[in-house]
């Protein structure tokens, strides 16, 4: 083997990267001494970008395509090396392949409950979780801000930081949205767009973007969920009296259809309870109270035959008085009578009571007009 053949095989001709790990974001092309041959072929596939770093400085960025590494294809590298008339010898540079495809089905969730003020329940706590998608938007910035000199950078190394950013923005947006907890399920799409819009500026500083963001579930604490379940059950039951009768009928049907439990006792018990319920419902329709098995209720349980108790006394009105733009009161009707007899109020005094439409003169209110007719009026012709 001649010296020419030795030099030809010493340096690499083709530079490319094929990844099947599905989680590698950046991979550094390894070569002894980082020596790249002049005229080598650089292959950048779809969903990739190649970043050249020369002597610690970020140089050229190559998008998908096939390139011959010459001076006309590497303007920044040529400027850094002061190659004015081209070059023929190998050069030393580091090549980083950046995966620009989407990383899908990434998980996020609230580690601790989020406190918020709900319009219906008041202060409460919620938890949430979902998925998101991220991809590298600016390979050069991502390499400078996040990767550094890491030879193989995976999604796991940055996913924790992204989750922290998402949870922070989610907590802020959800607490200030004012959306009731019971209506959040109907607004998850809009909430997801709001949160993605808040997270995107932070990710752009890393050279990343978030094409998709999903909220899969928003849940309440177990105690609150149990209370909501009871409330829902009460709403489904409707009339509790009819619900109780229905439940009793179902229990009797189940007992009658299972005579094996206790011989024929179940059937007899079911028939007895059914007849008792029928009698009770008939007596309720007739207005006569009955005992638990349909028999007339004892005298101690039957209502007395005397008349119904008298109704409660009517609520006494109280009055407010307006004199010279100042209000006072409230005063009872007896107090108003004493004030009328002492001349403190007259028929032209404005008064108001609850339920009255605006202020009226005392003489125009039928209930108060009689307070000013205690003394007989002057005789006719006086």
Residues in the chain: 382
**φ, ψ dihedrals at 41, nearest 5°:** -95, 125
**Ranges 7-21, 116-130, 204-218, 362-376: which has the least confidence:** 7-21
Pick the residue with more confidence: 170 or 268? Answer: 170
Of 11, 19, 24, 23, the C-alpha closest to 45 is 19
Beta-bridge partners for 126: 114
Residue 5's pLDDT is what? 44
Cα distance between residue 243 and residue 228, in whole Å: 20
Cα distance between residue 380 and residue 264, in whole Å: 97
3 state SS for 247-299: HHHHHHHHHHCCCCCCCCHHHHHHHHHHHHHHHHHHHHHHCCCECCCCCECCC
Q: Which residues have CB under 8 Å from 181's CB, separation 6+? A: 118, 120, 121, 124, 126, 218, 220
Q: What is the pLDDT of residues 142-188, one digit of tens each?
A: 999 988 888 899 999 999 999 999 999 999 888 888 888 888 888 88
Please state, rounded to an integer, the average pLDDT across all residues of the chain: 77
Distance of CA 54 to the CA centre of its chain: 49
Cα distance between residue 115 and residue 177, in whole Å: 13
What average pLDDT does the segment 274-284 reach? Answer: 58
Predicted TM-score (pTM) of the model is: 0.55
Domains and CATH numbers, the chain: 3-99 (no CATH), 103-220 (3.30.479.30), 319-372 (3.30.1490)
Q: What is the pLDDT of residues 72-84, one digit of tens each?
A: 666 555 555 555 5
């Amino acid at each position: 083997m001649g010296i020419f053949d030795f030099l030809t095989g010493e340096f690499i001709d083709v530079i490319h990267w094929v990844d099947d790990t599905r989680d590698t974001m950046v991979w550094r092309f390894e070569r002894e001494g980082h020596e790249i041959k002049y005229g080598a072929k650089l292959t950048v596939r779809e969903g990739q970008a190649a970043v050249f770093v020369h002597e610690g400085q970020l140089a050229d960025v190559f998008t998908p395509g096939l390139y011959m590494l010459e001076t006309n294809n590497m303007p920044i590298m040529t400027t850094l090396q002061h190659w004015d008339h081209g070059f023929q010898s190998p050069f030393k540079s580091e090549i980083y392949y950046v995966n620009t495809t989407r990383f899908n089905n990434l998980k996020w969730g609230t580690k601790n409950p989020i406190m918020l003020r709900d319009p219906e329940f008041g202060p409460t706590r919620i938890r949430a979780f979902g998925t998101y998608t991220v991809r590298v938007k600016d390979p050069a910035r991502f390499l400078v801000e996040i990767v550094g000199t890491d030879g193989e950078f995976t999604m796991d190394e940055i996913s924790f930081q992204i989750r922290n950013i998402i949870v922070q923005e989610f907590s802020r947006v959800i607490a200030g949205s004012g959306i009731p907890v019971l209506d959040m399920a109907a607004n998850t799409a809009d909430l997801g767009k709001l949160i993605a819009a808040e997270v995107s500026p932070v990710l752009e500083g890393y050279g990343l973007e978030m094409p998709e963001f999903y909220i899969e579930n928003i849940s309440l604490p177990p105690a609150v969920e149990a209370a909501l379940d009871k409330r829902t059950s009460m709403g489904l039951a409707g009339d509790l009296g009819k619900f109780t009768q229905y439940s009793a009928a179902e229990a009797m049907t189940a007992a009658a259809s299972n005579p094996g439990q206790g011989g024929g006792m179940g059937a007899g018990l079911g028939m007895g309870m059914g007849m008792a319920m029928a009698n009770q419902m008939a007596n309720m329709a007739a207005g006569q109270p009955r005992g638990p098995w349909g028999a007339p209720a004892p005298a101690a349980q039957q209502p007395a035959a005397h008349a119904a108790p008298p109704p409660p006394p009517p609520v006494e009105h109280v009055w407010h008085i307006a004199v010279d733009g100042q209000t006072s009161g409230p005063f009872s009707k007896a107090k108003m009578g004493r004030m009328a007899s002492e001349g403190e109020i007259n028929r032209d005094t404005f008064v108001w009571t609850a339920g009255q439409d605006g202020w009226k003169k005392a003489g125009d209110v039928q209930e108060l007009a009689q307070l000013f007719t205690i003394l007989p009026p002057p005789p006719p012709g006086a």
